[in-house]
Structures are given as C-alpha cells and as structure tokens.
A and B are shown apart, each in its own frame.
Chain A
Amino acid sequence: MISDTLTLAERALVRLPRNPDMLLAFTVQPIMFVLLFAFVFGGAIETPGYGDYIDFLIPGMIVQQIAFGGFATALGLAEDMTKGLIDRFRSLPTARASVLAGRTLADVATNLLSMVILLVTGFVIGFRFDANVPEILAGVALLLLFGYAFSWIFAVIGMSVSSPEAANGVGFILIFPITFISSAFVPVESMPAGLRQVADVNPVSTMVDALRSLWLGGEMGNSLWLSVVWCMVLIALFAPLAVRKYRLSAGA
C-alpha cells in the first residue's frame, strides 16, 4: 500500500515539470498575484493592527494558493477516468486506496513548493515574520493539513465531472469565491453586512487568522484549534465521499 501510494504520487508529480501550463499555475501565477495585490490594491486597503499590507497579504495569499493546490488532483483524476487509467490501476494487484492517496500526497509536495515560492516572493517585497521557529513551523504544518483537506474536496470534484475541462470550471467556480469572501485579502470589517457574516464563518478566514497570529503575532483567539477542527471535519466528510465515488465509478 505504501509503496503503491509513493509510486502513484511520484507519477502525479512528474506531470508538473512537463506541463508548461501547470508549472505556470504553480509558480509564476502566485508570484504575479502577490505583486498585483501588493502594488495595485496595497495602497487602498487599510489593515489596522498589521505593519503594512504586504505582511497582511502574504498569509492570505498562501492560504488561497494552498486551497487551490488540490486542483492537480481534480484534473488528474478526471483525466484518469476519461482515459481509462483508473481501469488499468484497478486491474492491477494494487491497493485500491492508493490511487487517491497517491494523488493527495503529491498535492502536499506541490503545496510545499507553492509555499516556498510565495514566501520568497514575500521576503523580496518586504514581508517579515514576527514569530519564533516553532510558531513558523506550526504555521507550515497547519497549511499542509489545510491543503490536504482541500485535496479531498478536489478529489470529489474530479470524480463527479465528466472531463478535465469540467473539473477546471467547477473547481474554480466553487473554490474561488470561498477564498475571496474571507479575511485573506481584506479585513472582514470592511465588508458589507451579509458578506461579512459569510466571511466570519468561512474556514478560509479561520485559517488565515490562525496563520496571521502564528506568523505575525497578535490575538490568537480560538482560530488555531478551530482551523484544526475545520480541517478534520472536511477530511472526515470528503475523504470517505471520494473513496465511495471511486468505488462507484466502476459501476460496480
């Protein structure tokens, strides 16, 4: 099971450097977003309590990027379904869970890569931690857990649609608003009433708040443990659903 999972994770990762469009999505695109947000919106957005907008922005941007990290899983699974690879894997004496486990594990690696790219970009334009090493590492661990939870959501999306193109569309339409109606890019206090309530209960906000307090200091409140609970709940909901979909996809 473990070696099957690693074999399949390796196979999912090889895809990245060989697909210019995916490579761009995981490297250049986040850098571009950071620069656009920092310099186009930066001057207009007040972030009371944080040194400047770049400090405020980087944790939010990393959370957003990581929420999308599972896209590779959705695209990959949708492709495997349409191209008959799932049938091949099933016909092999391979642990059945390893197809999903391999994909989501590969996402952890790409999420780590995105995180490094965004942090380096952040440092270049002036982002600074206000935290000790354990706090920084706790933030990294929390992000990976969060990314892993979202990978299972994407796994369900990938197996619910009929083509990789549809996976792309559905994934974008579902996840994009969730990351935007949150505290990722602007303080929720600046939002109109209805939207603000949504942003307050959004797990993305909880996650961003926890990360900001870990990396930048400030009030932790209960955002840290709430984030962990959110991730666990998402995994508990979507992982079994993904496994079920995977089983049913055979038409058994």
Chain B
Amino acid sequence: MAFSEELAISAQGLVKSFGDVRALDGVDLAAAPGTVLGVLGPNGAGKTTSVRVLTTLLTPDGGEARVAGLDVVKDAAKLRSRIGLAGQYAAVDENLTGIENLTMVGRLYGNKRAVAKRRAVELLERFSLTEAGGRPAKTYSGGMRRRLDLAAALVASPPVLFLDEPTTGLDPRSRIDLWEAIEELVGDGTTVLLTTQYLEEADRLADRIAVVDHGHVIAEGTADELKSRVGGMRLEVTLTHCAASFAAISALESMSEEPVHADGELVVVQVAERSGAIMEAARRLSQAGVGADDIAVRRPTLDDVFLSLTGHAPADEEAAVEAELELVVA
C-alpha cells in the first residue's frame, strides 16, 4: 500500500487515567495525510491528554496509536523527529530572542548551529517576525508568541503537526493571522491535528471534526455531516413587536412537528425543507396580522450540534478563563 493511502494519524481506544480521573476513556481518531482533523470539545474533555499521547509525551494505559506510520509507544524516539507540537501554552523561552528560540530548537533536532540559524531566519520571515527576531520573547504580544511557538513546531518541517488550542486567548485579528498560517501549511501538504473550543475555528480549518466530551469521541465527521445530524433547517423570524410572539407561535405551529421556540422578538421553527419555508411563513404571518422585520432559514451551526450531542453548550469564554485561573492557582 502506498504511504499516501495510509492514515497520517490513527488512534484506537486510547485510555489514560490520572488517579481517579479517566481523562481518556477510549478515544478513536483518524486523519488522512494532508488533511486537518479538528478535535473539538469543552475544557477538560481530554483534548490535551490526547495530544500528549499522540506526541509521545504520555504513555497511554490502553489502546494504540500510530502517527506518520510509527507507533507512538514503541517507536517514540523515532517519531519525535517527524512531528511538530505547539502546546496549549506558547512554549517559548522568554529570555531568548525569537531567533535564539528557533536556533535552540533546531540544534536540539541535531542540526549544526549555522543550519539551525538559517532555518530560524527563514521561519521568522515566514511568520512576519523578522523585525522582532532580535528582541527577547518576553517583549512579544500574545499573537507574536503564538506565531513563534508555531514556527518552533515547524523547525524540522515535520509531516504531521499537532496544535493544541492554538488560538485560545488571542484577539480576533491575531486569530485570523494564525488561521491563515495554518491554512498555508496544510496547502503545503502537512497533516494537522488541531484542538479547539471554538466551533467556528473547527468549521473553518478542519476537513473532519471529532467532537470529544468526557474522554469520548461523541461524534465524528465533516462539519456538514455533523450539522445534518442535528436535522432540518431553522426558520428564524424576527418580529416587529415581541408582544406578538403568541400570535406568531400559533400561526407557525403547524409548519413543524417540533415545538416552536420564542425568545423576545426571535421565533424559531424547525423545518424539514428549505424551499418554500420563507414564503409560507410570510403568508401565515400576514394572515394573522403579525409584523415581521426579518425572516430567514439557516442551517444548524456547530453550536447547535454540540448542544444536541452533549446536552450542554460548549464551554463559554468565561468558563475557559476560570479554568485557566484554576490552573495558575493550582
């Protein structure tokens, strides 16, 4: 079998416990070469633990995993020269300059100083850090640190790259910069496993998404497949006056088997078919004398997917910040 047909990342039944906490409870993952696998889940779902197992940092209690054709336990030493890791916290030495950080990593890969330095210069250029390259990393902004961290993961041009929440804590502008950098890498044929708490990030970057919760993969597929699992379309009506919501509900009720939801001016109806839904709703509303400012049909988002799969919304920003604080205190 040609290598290109083999999976770049595959894991079956990974189990890992820390004392009483079962961080991984049978995780299965698969990514074809040159694709992006998004691992999506709330805080504590087991994303980091999965990444640490796949990057040889942790030995699993059970299960098997292969990355770039090598077993993560038996071939750990060999595997390390074929993977790049950018962990959950930008792992750069703050006392070193950008170029020193990258040169150090190159030397730890076994390169001569001159070779390591040349590669460092190249990477700084690629991540728009050339100007800052001579300054200690402690003077960098969050976005610059992340880019330097990503550059460090790319020093050896690894065929498989692991990015653990690469944009958590970044401002929107830096997030988009980083997305573009990742997309460029994938364009060059790198396989990427990316964990995230952000649904839009998985939606934008990932070819396939594995949704994890409590150490399990609870759903896997393309973003479209996951969305269609939640079923039908959502018809959303924005009323002119929220006082009319009762009238709107009774007018629209018979369009769907599911109950109609109303929240202030917004009324949501689940419909099976897109075609004709808007016309039908408009006709019913005008017959009932209910004014509407906006009527739209939208496909379910990954937020809806998550809610219907887990029964709770993915960790919101506040919960994430709280969890990070806990980490700092602990």
Please, how many residues of chain B have a CB less than 8 angstroms from a CB on the other chain? Answer: 32
Q: Report yes or no: A11 in contact with B136, Cβ–Cβ below 8 A.
A: no
Verify if A244 is at the interface (C-beta below 8 Å from B): no
Q: Which of B53-61, B180-188, B295-303, B304-312 contacts A (4 or more CB under 8 A)?
A: B53-61
Which residues of chain A are within 8 angstroms of B56 by Cβ–Cβ distance? Answer: 90-91
Interface size of A as a range: 20 to 34
Q: Report yes or no: B105 in contact with A92, Cβ–Cβ below 8 A.
A: yes
Which residues of chain B are within 8 angstroms of A92 by Cβ–Cβ distance? Answer: 80, 105, 108-109
Verify if A222 is at the interface (C-beta below 8 Å from B): no
Give Cα A11 to B109, complex, Å: 15
Chain B's interface: helix, strand, loop or mixed, by majority? loop
Q: Report yes or no: A88 in contact with B152, Cβ–Cβ below 8 A.
A: yes
Q: Could you tell me the distance in whole angstroms from the C-beta of A165 to the nearest C-beta in chain B? A: 11
Q: A252: nearest residue on chain B (CB-CB)? A: B59
Which residues of chain B are within 8 angstroms of A8 by Cβ–Cβ distance? Answer: 104, 108
Give Cα A155 to B107, complex, Å: 24
Verify if B32 is at the interface (C-beta below 8 Å from A): no
Chain A's interface: helix, strand, loop or mixed, by majority? helix
Q: Report yes or no: A93 in contact with B110, Cβ–Cβ below 8 A.
A: yes
Q: Report yes or no: A7 in contact with B108, Cβ–Cβ below 8 A.
A: yes
Chain A residues 204-242 with CB under 8 Å of chain B are: none
Q: Report yes or no: A15 in contact with B95, Cβ–Cβ below 8 A.
A: yes
From A85, A87, A91, residue with most partner B Cβ within 10 Å: A91
Q: B107: nearest residue on chain A (CB-CB)? A: A7
Give Cα A88 to B107, complex, Å: 13
Q: Choose from B18, B59, B85 the contact partner of A91 (Cβ within 8 Å).
A: B85
Which residues of chain B are within 8 angstroms of A11 by Cβ–Cβ distance? Answer: 93, 96, 100, 104
Q: Report yes or no: B108 in contact with A84, Cβ–Cβ below 8 A.
A: no
Which residues of chain A are within 8 angstroms of B110 by Cβ–Cβ distance? Answer: 3, 93
Give Cα A249 to B58, complex, Å: 10
Verify if B244 is at the interface (C-beta below 8 Å from A): no
Given contacts A4-B108, A162-B330, A251-B18, contact A91 B95 (CB under 8 A): no
Q: Could you tell me the distance in whole angstroms from the C-beta of B141 to the nearest C-beta in chain A? A: 16
Q: Report yes or no: A89 in contact with B108, Cβ–Cβ below 8 A.
A: yes
Given contacts A92-B108, A251-B18, contact A84 B57 (CB under 8 A): no
Q: Report yes or no: B85 in contact with A87, Cβ–Cβ below 8 A.
A: yes
Q: Choose from B18, B58, B81, B95 the contact partner of A93 (Cβ within 8 Å).
A: B81
Given contacts A7-B108, A83-B91, A88-B152, contact A251 B55 (CB under 8 A): no
Which residues of chain B are within 8 angstroms of A15 by Cβ–Cβ distance? Answer: 95
Q: Report yes or no: A251 in contact with B58, Cβ–Cβ below 8 A.
A: yes
Which residues of chain A are within 8 angstroms of B330 by Cβ–Cβ distance? Answer: 162
Chain A residues 104-141 with CB under 8 Å of chain B are: none
Q: B116: nearest residue on chain A (CB-CB)? A: A7
Q: Could you tell me the distance in whole angstroms from the C-beta of A4 to the nearest C-beta in chain B? A: 6
Q: Could you tell me the distance in whole angstroms from the C-beta of B16 to the nearest C-beta in chain A? A: 8
Which residues of chain A are within 8 angstroms of B80 by Cβ–Cβ distance? Answer: 91-94
Q: Report yes or no: B104 in contact with A7, Cβ–Cβ below 8 A.
A: yes
Which residues of chain A are within 8 angstroms of B107 by Cβ–Cβ distance? Answer: 3-4, 7
Q: Report yes or no: B57 in contact with A93, Cβ–Cβ below 8 A.
A: no
Verify if B88 is at the interface (C-beta below 8 Å from A): yes
Give Cα A89 to B155, complex, Å: 13
Q: Could you tell me the distance in whole angstroms from the C-beta of A85 to the nearest C-beta in chain B? A: 5
Q: A79: nearest residue on chain B (CB-CB)? A: B94
Which residues of chain B are within 8 angstroms of A93 by Cβ–Cβ distance? Answer: 77, 80-81, 108-110
Show 14 A/B contacts (Cβ-Cβ < 8 Å), sorted by A. A18-B95, A83-B91, A83-B94, A84-B90, A85-B93, A87-B91, A88-B105, A90-B57, A93-B109, A250-B57, A251-B18, A251-B52, A251-B58, A252-B57
A-B interface, 4 closest residue pairs, ranked by CB to CB distance from nearest: A84-B91, A88-B91, A84-B89, A93-B80
- Given A11-B93, A83-B94, 13 more A-B residue pairs with CB atoms under 8 Å apart are A3-B107, A4-B108, A15-B95, A19-B95, A83-B92, A84-B87, A85-B91, A85-B93, A89-B108, A90-B57, A93-B109, A252-B58, A252-B59
